[in-house]
Structure 1
Amino acid sequence: MSSSSKPDTKFDQLPGVVDNNADDALANLGYKPELSRNRSTLQVAFMSFVLASVPYGLATTLYYPLVGGGPVAIIWGWLAVCICVICVAASLGEITSVYPTAGGVYYQAFMLAPSNWRRVASWICGWLYVVGNITITLSVNFGTTLFLVGCINVFESEPGVGILAGEPYQVYLIFLGITLLCNAISSLGNKWLPLLDTAAVFWTLIGVVAMIVTILVMAKGGRRDAKWVFTHFENNSGWPDGWSFCVGLLHAGYATSATGMIISMCEEVQRPSIQVPRAMVATLFMNTACGLLFLIPIVFVMPDIVELINLAQPVPYIFKVATGSSGGAIGLLTPLIVLAVLCGVCCTTAASRCTWAFARDGAIPGAKWWMVVNHKLDVPLNAMMLSMVVQLLLGLIYFGSTAAFNAFSGVGVMCLTASYAAPIAISLATGRKQIREGQFYLGPVGLVCNIVALAWSALALPLFCMPTVVPATVETVNYASVVFVAAMLISGGWYWMWGYRNYAGPPTHED
């Protein structure tokens, strides 16, 4: 383990991992195989698809593009972000093909960086990756909670008043139940998760087709014309038009933020240097098409935008107006609710793996506890419980501010975006030399993808610190930057107090 090695030891860079025996390849990277490799190429692609859960992600965050620009922000913003994130996936795929470990991007940052600063590069990237995984899992489960409250309230006790008040304690208790359920499924049913992911893909496709056919055929609230759907821009944010459109991209950025989380499953995949890169890129094309298939019909039956932005969750109301009944709406929303829980299970699984991997290299306080694998369940159970406890504690912020979900989703996107950018930037700065031996090397196309990926990252980081509307109030201000800075200060302080002297980074060739 790296905790026994000396900091900044000089060694030769490991060659590209091309061994078809994944366990031998992992041993060459310095790790003992501890998890079962029970996923095929198709199954890892399906897990990547469920991690994103595009219809759910787009449904729970539709408020942002509605405020930022309306139909233009919803449809064209989604397409623009998907193009950028495909470049992120391709760039990460090239690097993962060479360094396929559960450590993911922080391991890659260490191996790609020059020897004199690889430790600090992997430390920063690792904390960004772990915090991003945990907070995006938190935001998924919290988003599911708020979405479920919105779905329940399609039934009204009186006109305009839902049957569930949505008091902070009610919201937190539902969030607690969903979080415990996701952790129970992920830990106790690990060997069945590939089958669950496969079922979730077909469930999603069938559910989306049922939704779009029903709302377009019924359309009790009327239909918009194609010109309005594809060209109407309506700024309700208070920002200048261009920046308002950009702020609305949180919708798409959130739905695609899980792109690199699948890398943490590399040690449970049969041929990770090939399967994981292909799955990441192929899934993005699937997600792009699925997102358009879901969004365009919704915009065609959309009620007045100003009316929608006064709702915390606009999609349940859109479905209710389109079907003309609460029962019809809840029937169409059921596939999204189930998908939301399955997405939470996948995010819980990925977050536990990256937390475990970072602890395995000695970077998390109490690492000897969190690096333990429960071989009976075949999961890093302690790391999963650590991740769960952190999520439940952060969820308490909701009692102080209902803008908590904005902070969770924003900081999750920011941390993951920054962690993805780190190895890409280092690889580009060092001439892309190390990745040329990988089985997913893209040549000049990869270079273009690197540039686009970093440009998107440079835009996304400040973008997701911004309040959705201005002037901002206590309830509408974006606390993502506060959480992001707090996480970085804590990790930086831990490195200064302990990591500088003790953290050696991932295992080296000499180790």
Structure 2
Amino acid sequence: MAEEVANSSLVVPQSMLFAIVINGILGFAMLIAFLFTAGDLSAIVKSQATYPFMQILENSTRSKGAAVVLSSMMAVMSVFCGLGGISSGSRMLWAFARERAIPGWQWIHKLDQRTAVPFHSTAIIIIAAGLIGLINIGSSEVLNIVLSLTMEAFFFSYIIPLSLLLYRRLKGDIKEPGQGSKKGLTWGPFRLKGFIGILNNIFALVFASVAALFGFWPSQNHPHLSKMNWSSAIFGGTLILAVIYYLGWGRKHYMGPVMEVQVPPQVPEPRSNVPDIYRD
């Protein structure tokens, strides 16, 4: 969603850092409060509460009503987190469709003429999220595999750009603004310079690699087939299908990152703020 932010090359990384710092401090404070008020951990695990944190809230407040209210607040916050995920996921899907990187891009990349919102991609994300949520009705183990697969996809999406950035850093291919050619790589306004930046890239790459590795492991030692984490097989199969799809169709139609420049309209004014290629 950085495309919708003014001066995104500077504002987005600053916002990410501020979010990490603020949420880290608040999360650590909440963790300390939970640990001091949790009580007997074995009793919490054996309690009748649907989730252990509900029993912790009841122990700390000594009131079932207060525990219900606080648990409801967490449910509301989860809803808002889900809305944020839907917004970012729909924009990401729309961006891939705009670049002709996925099947059905002709329909998915259309924007609503009145609101200029990618309605089709948003609907796809909502339906997909709802269907994934239904998996828990049949098997919680399968849902855990899907969630594990999602985490692995996130980490590998970080590993690839981190590796490329570190490679370019070590080769010195990224120039300062104004020093390189128009076709070369130049640094943006927000970065860590020199050796500190290289160390930061190495640390991030190692952390993401270790996290991705352990994410494929099962939740217990010597698991039964029904408890096995099959996300590694699914992830590998998805990669194979993605390579086949790219070699067979994607490389012929994929346009690469599309750069859009908004030109001030001439008289007469356009009737819609949605480009013709994105209209239904």
Partner of 2:245: 494
Q: In the alignment, residue 333 of structure 1 is paired with which amino acid?
A: S
Residue from 264, 276, 284 that aligns with 2:12: 276
* Alpha-carbon contact 1:435-1:441 (below 8 Å) kept: no
* Alpha-carbon contact 2:94-2:108 (below 8 Å) kept: yes
Partners of 2:201 and 2:26 lie apart in 1 by 25
* Alpha-carbon contact 1:352-1:387 (below 8 Å) kept: yes
Pairing of 1:354-503 with structure 2 (within 5 A): 354-431=92-169, 433-434=173-174, 436=176, 437-444=187-194, 445-473=196-224, 476-503=227-254
Q: Would the alpha carbon gap of residues 390 and 369 (structure 1) be closer, same or farther in structure 2, given more than 3 Å must change? A: same
Q: Deviations over 1:199-252 (max 9, x none)?
A: xxxxxxxxxxxxxxxxxxxxxxxxxxxxxxxxxxxxxxxxxxxxxxxxxxxxxx
Q: In the alignment, residue 294 of structure 1 is paired with which amino acid?
A: M
Q: Deviations over 1:366-387 (max 9, x none)?
A: 1111111224223111111122
My pick for the range that moved more, 441-450 or 271-280, is 441-450
Q: Would the alpha carbon gap of residues 393 and 496 (structure 1) be closer, same or farther in structure 2, given more than 3 Å must change? A: farther
Q: Deviations over 1:245-298 (max 9, x none)?
A: xxxxxxxxxxxxxxxxxxxx1121121111101111121111211110111111
Partner of 2:180: none
Partners of 1:387 and 1:331 lie apart in 2 by 30
* Alpha-carbon contact 1:424-1:450 (below 8 Å) kept: yes
Partners of 2:198 and 2:113 lie apart in 1 by 41
Q: Deviations over 1:421-450 (max 9, x none)?
A: 211210111226337431002103322211
* Alpha-carbon contact 2:132-2:143 (below 8 Å) kept: no
Partner of 1:288: 24
Q: Deviations over 1:329-370 (max 9, x none)?
A: 112223211111111111110000111101111111011111
Partners of 1:269 and 1:419 lie apart in 2 by 22
Partners of 2:131 and 2:218 lie apart in 1 by 24
The secondary structure found in structure 2 opposite 1:491 is helix
Q: Would the alpha carbon gap of residues 307 and 364 (structure 1) be closer, same or farther in structure 2, given more than 3 Å must change? A: farther
* Alpha-carbon contact 2:102-2:250 (below 8 Å) kept: no
Pairing of 1:87-106 with structure 2 (within 5 A): none
Q: Would the alpha carbon gap of residues 435 and 473 (structure 1) be closer, same or farther in structure 2, given more than 3 Å must change? A: farther
Pairing of 1:30-429 with structure 2 (within 5 A): 265-309=1-45, 313-429=51-167
Partners of 1:387 and 1:348 lie apart in 2 by 6
Larger radius of gyration between Structure 1 and Structure 2 = 2
Q: Deviations over 1:302-327 (max 9, x none)?
A: 23334444676211121122223321
Q: In the alignment, residue 209 of structure 2 is paired with which amino acid?
A: A
Q: In the alignment, residue 188 of structure 2 is paired with which amino acid?
A: G
Which runs of 5 or more residues in structure 2 are unaligned? 177-186, 260-280
Query: For this pair of structures, how many residues does the alignment match?
Result: 245
Partner of 2:265: none
* Alpha-carbon contact 1:406-1:480 (below 8 Å) kept: no
Q: In the alignment, residue 28 of structure 2 is paired with which amino acid?
A: L
Higher relative contact order (CA 8 A, sep 6+): 1
Q: Would the alpha carbon gap of residues 273 and 464 (structure 1) be closer, same or farther in structure 2, given more than 3 Å must change? A: same
Q: In the alignment, residue 422 of structure 1 is paired with which amino acid?
A: I
CA RMSD between the two structures: 2.4
Q: Deviations over 1:79-105 (max 9, x none)?
A: xxxxxxxxxxxxxxxxxxxxxxxxxxx
* Alpha-carbon contact 1:427-1:434 (below 8 Å) kept: no
Q: Would the alpha carbon gap of residues 434 and 354 (structure 1) be closer, same or farther in structure 2, given more than 3 Å must change? A: farther
Q: Would the alpha carbon gap of residues 336 and 411 (structure 1) be closer, same or farther in structure 2, given more than 3 Å must change? A: same
Q: Would the alpha carbon gap of residues 281 and 383 (structure 1) be closer, same or farther in structure 2, given more than 3 Å must change? A: same
Which runs of 5 or more residues in structure 1 are unaligned? 1-264
Cα drift, residue 480 of structure 1: 3.2
Q: In the alignment, residue 41 of structure 2 is paired with which amino acid?
A: I
* Alpha-carbon contact 1:398-1:404 (below 8 Å) kept: yes
Partners of 2:220 and 2:45 lie apart in 1 by 11
Cα drift, residue 412 of structure 1: 1.9
Partners of 1:475 and 1:306 lie apart in 2 by 27
* Alpha-carbon contact 1:414-1:464 (below 8 Å) kept: yes
Q: TM-score, normalised by structure 2?
A: 0.78
Partners of 1:291 and 1:456 lie apart in 2 by 21
Q: Would the alpha carbon gap of residues 385 and 490 (structure 1) be closer, same or farther in structure 2, given more than 3 Å must change? A: farther
Q: Would the alpha carbon gap of residues 418 and 493 (structure 1) be closer, same or farther in structure 2, given more than 3 Å must change? A: same
Q: Would the alpha carbon gap of residues 316 and 405 (structure 1) be closer, same or farther in structure 2, given more than 3 Å must change? A: farther
